Structure 1
Amino acid sequence: MVQFIQAQNVGLAYLEEKFSLQLAEDEVFFTEWFEKLPEITDLEKQDLDRIKLHFLRLVKRPPLSEETVKLVVLSPLLNLAGFYDEPFYMRGEESIEISAEDEGEIIRVRIDVLVIQEQFWLLVIESKRSSFSLLEAIPQALVYMLANPNQDKPTFGLVTNGSDFIFLKLTKENQPKYAISDQFTLLKRESELYQVLSVLKNLSQSLS
């Protein structure tokens, strides 16, 4: 059953008030997205270049659904990062629909949720408007991560629309804290998919 959630009701201010969530200011809180990252092999770079090519072919014929994003972009990335191997397992969550108002127009955005081993949440966005920012989906990702009953281990998240990627980290011990990575994109001339895969590999190694 699809839930209808008003975007303004799951903003960061709401989470800060309801869950006492704080943004971690210290850079050392979330080093997994930029420090000591695994190298990407030449063969992996070839695979990533093909992912970019396939995605750019698809965007020429919209709409681009979240199912297509999962098939063409996310699934091969997770495979290359080792998330389909032991000890990981994956399960799906219900799709969610967020409504946001932009200049008097209601924008409905589907978010598809995948969970890997209760420690890594993946939110895949199908936006009907290119102006819908990944930042608007981050609070929803944090809601799922906050609901994780595991208190003593950090949890991680990835929000993507197929072309752009943002990683998140959340800890719940004592005071709930979170941080987000820079935004990566495959739309640059030098695709940042290499960095995305390197972060994913780093997370799979740290979570295994």
Structure 2
Amino acid sequence: MVPIIQDQNIGIAYLEERFGLQLAEEETFFAEWGENLPELTDLEKQDLDRIKNNFLRLVKYPPLSEETVKLVVLSPLLDLAGFYDEPFFIRSEQSIEISTEDEGKIIRGRIDVLVVQQQLSLLIIGSKKSSWSLLAAIPQALTYMIANPEQNKPVFGLVMNGNDFIFIKLIKNSQLEYALSDQFTLWKRENELYKVLGILKKLSQILS
């Protein structure tokens, strides 16, 4: 029987050893998250202020479930970024498997939200409870991104727990390379959802 490894038991070191994953050192590798972001309208900023206030009000009454985080924060962000419009399709609760050839093991997990265009997986989103650290979500998201069958095209990821957000970029060329954005948080006085939405809108422009 082929051994099954659950994705929550996978760490960065395992992905580096088994798949040759490497962290890209060049700043230009993942310039999409910080350069030439679209300007937000006053109406979009009002919507983002409301999303932040809704979340910060709900987080006072734990536990705040993963489904609530998706409903209150993620869903309106995807809508504002244009991912509910053509040419994109949203798929949720997608199962994935990825095998390691040398040991005959299978990594099994579940993608929370998948943005698809022309049958290509473009944006992979891991949404966690507000009490979860993103340190555990990053290797899970990278596992899903490695499992993406499309070669030589960048795949983008977003891990979030409602109050914190980190973007990921992975490219499969001669080797697997990835990079992370800065971490954005709702615990700052300024609303960092402005930057999160700007990045999502930039990715929607690139991927469409």
The question of a shared fold, defined as TM-score above 0.5 by the shorter chain, is answered with: yes
- Cα offset, 1:48, TM superposition: 0.3
Q: Could you tell me whether the CA contact under 8 Å between 1:81 and 1:201 is conserved in 2?
A: yes
After superposition, the Cα gap between the structure-2 partners of 1:93 and 1:4, relative to the gap in structure 1 and judged at 3 Å, is farther
Amino acid corresponding to residue 12 of structure 1 in structure 2: I
Give 1:5's aligned residue. Answer: 6
Q: 1:123 to 1:78 in 2, by over 3 A?
A: same
Alpha-carbon distance in 2 for matches of 1:62, 1:11: 28
Alignment of structure 1 residues 79-94 onto 2, 5 Å:
79-94=79-94
Unpaired runs of 5+ residues, structure 2, are: 97-109
Aligned equivalent of 1:133: 133
Query: 1:4, 1:47 → 2: CA distance?
Result: 40
The structure-2 alpha-carbon separation of the partners of 1:168 and 1:6, relative to structure 1 and needing over 3 Å to count, comes to closer
TM (norm. structure 1) is: 0.86
Deviation string 1:124-156 (CA, Å, 9 cap, x unpaired) is: 0025xx3x4202210000000000000021000
User: Which stretches in structure 1 are left out of the alignment for 5+ residues?
Assistant: 97-110
String of CA shifts for 1:33-91, please: whole Å, max 9, x gaps.
00111011111000000001110111111110111111110011000000000000011
1:86 is paired with a residue whose SS is coil
1:173 CA drift (Å) = 1.2
Aligned ranges for residues 99-110 of structure 1 at < 5 Å? none
Amino-acid identity (%) = 67
Q: What code does the residue aligned with 1:126 have?
A: K
Contact 1:158 1:165 in 2 (8 A): yes
Match of 2:172 in 1: 172
Q: How many residues are aligned here?
A: 189
User: What is the aligned partner in structure 1 of residue 114 from structure 2?
Assistant: 115
Cα distance in structure 2, aligned partners of 1:6 and 1:202 = 29
In structure 2, the residue corresponding to 1:90 is in which secondary structure?
strand
Deviation string for 1:9-28 (max 9, x for gaps)? 41111000000000000010
The one-character-per-residue Cα deviations of 1:151-199 (angstroms, maximum 9, x if unpaired) are 0210000000001100000001111000000000111111101000000
TM score, norm. by length of structure 2: 0.86
Once the two structures are TM-superposed, the CA of residue 112 in structure 1 deviates from its matched residue by: 5.8
Provide the C-alpha distance between the structure 2 equivalents of 1:155 and 1:133, rounded to a whole number of angstroms. 22
Measure how far apart 1:95 and its partner are: 7.9
Superposed, 1:163-202 pairs within 5 Å as: 163-202=163-202
Secondary structure of the structure 1 residue equivalent to 2:129: strand
User: Alpha carbon RMSD of aligned pairs, Å?
Assistant: 2.0
User: Which amino acid in structure 1 is aligned with residue 12 of structure 2?
Assistant: L
Q: What displacement does 1:113 show?
A: 1.2
Q: Distance in 2 between matches of 1:152 and 1:94?
A: 22
Please tell me the residue identity of whatever aligns with 1:71.
Answer: L
Structure 1 counterpart of 2:30, one-letter code:
F
Match of 2:60 in 1: 60
